[in-house]
Amino acid sequence: MGMSGGVDSAVAAALLLEQGFEVIGVTMLIWNPPGLDRADQGGCCWLGAAEDARRVAARLGVRHYVLDFQDVFYDTVIRNYADEYRAGRTPNPCIRCNEFVKFGALLRRAEQLGAERVATGHYARVRWDEKSCRWLLLRGLDARKDQSYALYRLKQDQLARTLFPLGEMDKSRTRALAAELELPVANKPDSQEVCFVPDNDYPTFLAQLVPESRREGAIVDPDGQVLGRHPGVAGFTVGQRRGLGLSSSRPLYVTRIDPETNRITVADGDHASLFAREVIATDANLITLKEPGGPCSVTAKIRYNMPDRPATLVIEDEERLRVLFQEPQRAVTPGQALVCYDGELVLGGGVIERAA
């Protein structure tokens, strides 16, 4: 059981015990770097989380280990995070952490501990489909907490060995169970931002991590007129409104980030350059679908906190997807995930390359 020190994984561990599983609690130490100024955030990346998880394990009477995954986290998540921002893209580190750390490195370590499965507190569901002979990923029943978007990269062998005990529950019931079981994290607030970025201050974090990313450049309008200056393209994202450092009578939004010219383009919120219907995604992972084909009707989303929208999907090859939304989508962001659904089923997705 991956125990993050939060209420979700604590209740998930308790549910597995009730179901008769032998549970081994594991907290992953994944980010505790020297030299980066920070306060302890209390999220799943910091040492404080391990102490919360230890207290939960003691309450439940299960073994608990803290395992060092800092190297694999740095190699697969942090490096990508820095590289993507340097390239003018906006990464999703939680998705990569799920793929390479929680359901990659942790699964391999579970084998060494003699464990058959890895469980987490994600709100999603896994099901075996006899007809297709494939493991399926489904949304969690609590639509407000559904985390299937962040799990779309899981492969068949990973899904086959994964348990999501909270997939059939809503968050209010999770909180109520935590209180009933007198778990020490019952009232602990949820983590809302990227766990390893102190105070959600991306520019400062990136400046400390990759100082070379701080190269001043111009902020321009769609016609190329200079409106101001920026301290470096890293840390900006398409669709961003706050923190531009511009004086304007109307809200302006980032529409383009060009690391080659070191320019950031901004426009009004209703400018055509901020909207697109067609999205190209690469590095695809297909869960339900096994081969190229299309077009087919789906719903799709281009960021975690948005409802999925009607669209047409074409699987151009095993690595590349093309999605045409029925309505223009705002702020299609290179580096983020495009995930496609058929009702409650996650069909698959890819990393957004560009708006076509």
Query: 3-class DSSP state for residue 17?
Result: helix
195 is catalytic: yes
Out of 45, 94, 195, 340, which one is annotated catalytic? 195
Q: At a CB cut-off of 8 Å and minimum separation 6, what does 131 contact? A: none
The CA angle 258-260-261, to the nearest 5 degrees, is: 75
97 is catalytic: yes
CB 154 within 8 Å of CB 99: yes
The CA angle 49-351-95, to the nearest 5 degrees, is: 15
Out of 94, 97, 133, 296, which one is annotated catalytic? 97
Helices 47-60 and 7-18: crossing angle in degrees, nearest 10, is 30
- Whole-number Å distance between alpha carbons of 154 and 337: 13
CB 323 within 8 Å of CB 300: yes
Per-residue CA distances from 49 to 41, 165, 184, 232 (Å): 9, 20, 12, 33
- Which residues belong to the active site? 97, 195
